[in-house]
Structure 1
Amino acid sequence: MPLVVVGISVLVLLLLMTKLRMNGFAALLLVAVGVALVQGIPVAEISEVLATGIGDQIGDTMLTIGLGAMVGRVMGDSGAAQRIAGRLLDLCGPRWVQVAMVLTAMLIGVTMFYEVAFIIIVPIAFTLVRVTRANLLWVGLPMSIALSTMHSFLPPHPGPTAVASTFEASAGLTLFYGLFIAVPAGAFIALLWPRLPFIKAMNPSIPKGLVSEKVFEDDEMPGMGWSLSVALLPVVLIAGAAVVDMAAAENSGPLHFVAFIGSPPIALLLTLVVSVWAFGPRIGRSLDEVSASCKSAASAMAMILLVIGAGGAFKQVLVDGGISDYIKDVTHGWSISPIILAWLIAVILRIALGSATVAVVTASGVVLPLLANSGVHPEIMVLAVSCGSIAFSHVNDPGFWMFKEYFNLSVIDAIKARTTYTTVLAILGLGGVLALEWALDLLKL
């Protein structure tokens, strides 16, 4: 039974990494090969499947993570990140630093992918931790939870957008309705989770090489205008491209240019170029110093990228091994509420495959025939599938490994922190979707 194979593979992976202390990259590849053999993928094709999974995952994330890490380190070594962190502390005070991180993450995360927004904001979180001497998860976990909620629940993120297209739902209405669920649910969990005893018991250190250890005096740091402008430049470019894409006519020349500069790798590359000058020669730092900052960031990212890529290989083996098709066949005849069915199928696929995007796309295909006669608003069905896709993030999810590595957690602690919060968010999301459908029916909208 394919789901048994998934369960055993997860247990073997945990055993390799916790008891045998095997490196995450090697352990993920080893388990992926084992699953491929059990699921009947021809031996001659296994290496190609692994390469496809790694290539797809690294292709999506390497440029974003690499460039983002360089921008963050340049800002950190120049004092720009400390300037922004200091201003946040001045405005909110240490007591409200979590609220500041949640608001920042939600504003940036509405239009930006989880990975991109995470890379942009995490240097500021690291600096706040260093300045306040707070627990890393106390500051960083609210940011991650808020970003996860925005990314999984709302268009224009890839999963919800793909499902909206399948259900012929309005992306604008889906976003509007989704905000009523995502904002309160995300904020509630983001502020609650760091206060739970099992989270407070964790005290990870900041990964070496990703943040400057120097504490700057006020006259050594760049001004707030330059610091904030460079930090927000990729946000403006990426969010602006998303807005123009929704408003402009298709195939127009300006739209292609805006889409080009608003793609995450190009936006971050332009930001890196600006940051090299703004926090280098402009303030008296040599290009050699700036180059050393970039090199340090790249070195620190090497193992993180390898682990994320291996997570992609594991996910690809599960997909090519026919597990998604098996789940579609099993759930096809279930006779329950379309909203709950959509959510539940997305949850099962998320647990089995790891990829939220694959989960929502597959679930939407299963549920689509039920939508026509269900009377459910298509936008609500989009949200039901999207909410289910955030549940149970664990070792077959490349985003899990990014979370683990950046917050320097053991596998078990990462499961305790991330798997639990994603699951509770999914359950709260389902409750919000059911309540929203009831309200729309009541108002006859």
Structure 2
Amino acid sequence: MVIIILLICIITLILLVTWAKVNVFLTFLIISVMAALLLGMPLPNIVQSVNKGLGDMLGSLVIVIVLGAMLGKLVGVSGAAQKIATSMRQAFGEKYITWAMCATGFIVGIPLFYNVGFFLLVPIIFSVAGKYKLPLVYVGIPMLASLSVMHGFLPPHPSPMALLVQFHADISKVFIYGFIVAIPTCAIAGPIFARTLRRMYTNSAIANSVQDIPDEKLPGLANSILSSLLPVIIIGLSTLVVRFSGDNKTLKDVAAFLGDPNIALMETIAIATYSLGMRMGMKLSEVMNVYADAIKEIATIMLIIGSAGILKQVLLDSGSSAQIADSLQGLNLPPLLLGWIIAAILRLCLGSATVAGLTAAGIIYPLMQQVPADPNLMVLSIGAGSLFCSHVNDTAFWVNKEYFGMTMKQTFMSWSLMETLVSVIGLLGVLILNTLI
């Protein structure tokens, strides 16, 4: 009966989001309360579950996601992302231009959220394609593949961070495993796949309307790269110090404190405010306005993440988790594969990668209480599944179609197929890692 109720709730969620066009945050609230009532939870307990689910999910995520959004926005607005792209283009040359675009997306995609990254980097794609007289899609897909992989696999992006919290995973291990899986995924779904698009010419009216920041106003390359990757560097160094500091408790405590994701991002923001902001001629008030815009852009994402936590909490507090776990266990599928399948199906139905991943996490979580599975790899498996086959119910599908001037067929053969490759290759990478560790 619990599985039937869960299916009813998921179908209702899909219909409300795709057919009725109800706000996703409101939809999760409605579905969570609906599930609680159908599962027979006492009314006072429902309110407690709503508050606890929302609070527990956002409590450890707000600082990381907000500071990550601020850093990503500053990296883009300051021209650091453009500087990295320009330098990569010069280093690789025309022959390997797709690898240059892939490498650019890989580096700047760590701090940049996908939506922000797309709009900040698309002028670079147009500029490079125009300079070398190459198809926009051929030049753009490698960069978009890297941005998509970073968005779905690596902290501090919203979905991986939320999954990390749900599964009580270790951020350092998720980042290391995600980095290992990301490299071949980006290479295959990016430059290698782009070879099939070499003759896909399109007609983009938007391409002629965008402009780059003048070179003399860009920050230096070292400044751009270090500022973008500083959180990763700090957390990585901290992990190494903690591991190899022996019995020195003071050193371990200091390193653990400085390498905490929240503190690492605070340190990075303090440095980047000067290095990418005030040092480049921006007033402090202008940098603060950049940060304010970044917060506005991720407000909806934060609400969606919080509301997804409510549904998971309802399933736990109602006592339904064990029955769900037993039913999923009866499918006789490895948990990592099952998590990917559920996320992929939800992605096909809902369009939103974030919503698909968070919903899948709430469903698969009970199973992990009974069947052993590496929580760090589960974050990556569901992240990969949530990127599966973007199509007409995903806003990114239409954004890519219009910006690159593609037909529907061209969009399916480039963007949708690239996202599918990212998802499937990501799963294979996770399964291979699972056999090795």
Q: Is this a same-fold pair by TM over 0.5?
A: yes
Instruction: Please say if residues 83 and 224 of structure 2, whose CA atoms lie closer than 8 Å, have aligned partners that are also in contact.
Output: yes
How many correspondences in the alignment? 386
- The one-letter code sitting in structure 2 at the alignment partner of 1:83 is K
Residues 275-312 of structure 1 show CA distances to partners (whole Å, capped at 9, x for unaligned) of 22223332332222222212222222222222222222
Deviations 1:91-130 (A, max 9, x none): 3458856645665777899xxxxxxx45478755543222
Match in the other structure for 1:242: 239
User: Is 1:325 equivalent to 2:318 in the alignment?
Assistant: no
CA distances 1:145-185 after superposition (whole Å, capped 9, x unpaired): 3664577xxxxx969x9799xxxxxx8xxx89x99877545
**Contact kept? 1:105, 1:121, Cα under 8 Å:** no
Q: For 1:369-394, what per-residue CA distance to the aligned partner results, in whole angstroms no more than 9, with x for missing partners?
A: xxxxxxxxx9xx88986775556439
State the partner residue of 1:281: 278
What residue number does 1:129 align with? 122
1:407-444 deviation digits (Å, cap 9, x = unpaired): 9979xx9xx7899567634753576479x58xx9xxxx
**Partners of 1:392 and 1:420 within 8 A in 2:** no
Among 212, 219, 243, which residue is 1:222 paired with?
219
What is the one-letter code of the residue matched to 1:142?
S
Q: Choose which of 252, 256, 261 in structure 2 pairs with 1:255.
A: 252
1:239 is matched by which residue type in structure 2?
G
TM superposition shift of 1:13: 1.6
8 Å contact kept, 2:387–2:419: yes
Q: Which residue of 2 is the match for residue 24 of structure 1?
A: 24
Q: Identical aligned pairs, as a percentage? A: 27
* C-alpha distance in structure 1 between counterparts of 2:426 and 2:313, whole Å: 24
Equivalence for 2:352: none
CA–CA distance in structure 2, aligned partners of residues 190 and 316 of structure 1? 38
Q: Per the alignment, do residues 192 and 150 of structure 1 end up closer, same or farther by CA in structure 2, a change over 3 Å counting? A: farther
Cα offset for 1:236?
0.6
1:194-224 superposed Cα distances (whole Å, 9 cap, x missing partner): 8999xx9xx9xx9xxxxxx873111112222
CA distance, structure 1, for counterparts of residue 261 and residue 153 of structure 2: 20
1:44 deviation in Å?
A: 0.9
Alignment partner, residue 55 of structure 1: 55
Distance 1:75 1:332 in 2: 45
Kept in 2: contact 1:29–1:310 (CA 8 A):
yes
Residue 9 (str. 1) matches residue 9 (str. 2): yes
TM superposition score normalised by structure 1: 0.66
Q: 1:385 to 1:392 in 2, by over 3 A?
A: closer
- Corresponding residue for residue 349 of structure 2: none
Amino acid at match of 2:290: S
Q: Is the 8 A contact 2:85 2:101 kept in 1?
A: no
Q: Is the 8 A contact 1:5 1:35 kept in 2?
A: yes
Q: AA paired with 2:219? A: P
- Any unmatched runs of 5+ in structure 1? 110-116, 152-156, 165-170, 207-212, 369-377, 441-445
Distance 1:345 1:230 in 2: 38
Q: Superposition pairs for residues 142-221 of structure 1, below 5 Å? A: 142-145=146-149, 148=152, 184=184, 187-189=187-189, 215-221=212-218
Please tell me the residue identity of whatever aligns with 1:130: P
Q: What is the match of residue 298 of structure 1?
A: 295
Q: Is there any run of 5+ residues in structure 2 with no aligned partner, and where?
A: 127-135, 156-162, 347-356, 401-410
Aligned to 2:282, the other structure's residue is in SS state coil
> Counterpart of 1:88 in structure 2: which amino acid?
M
Match of 1:373 in 2: none
1:314-393 correspondence to structure 2 within 5 Å? 314-330=311-327, 341-343=334-336, 354=358, 363=367, 365-367=369-371, 389-390=382-383, 392-393=385-386
Shift of 1:364: 5.4
